[in-house]
Amino acid sequence: MTAIIVDVGTVAEAEARAGTQFSVALGRDGEVTHLGCNWADCPKAALEALAQTEGVTVGEDFWVLCGLMGIGRIEPATI
């Protein structure tokens, strides 16, 4: 799996490069600041394009990456 977290201001650009993969709402204090996904078998070309996009963070473990960024899941009911 490839963990990908995208700043909400960069979502349109990231989706233009990789498709609509980002569906997990993430943030702090009930405010959505990022969207993310765990992408199984992420194509190398998509990963390379995302890695070059400002506001995109890529890692191996989704929840560890969230912890390092100081963000967590925002439940859909609070969006």
pLDDT value at position 37? 95
Number of separate domains in the chain:
1
- How would residue 75 be classed by pLDDT, with cut points 50, 70 and 90? confident
Provide the residue range defining the domain that includes 50: 2-78
pLDDT value at position 43? 94
The enclosing domain of 37 has a CATH number of: 3.30.70
Residue 8: CA count within 13 A, CB half-sphere: 10
CA distance readout (Å), 55 to 5, 74, 76, 79: 8, 19, 22, 21
Strand pairing category for 31-39 and 2-7: antiparallel
Largest CA distance in the chain: 34
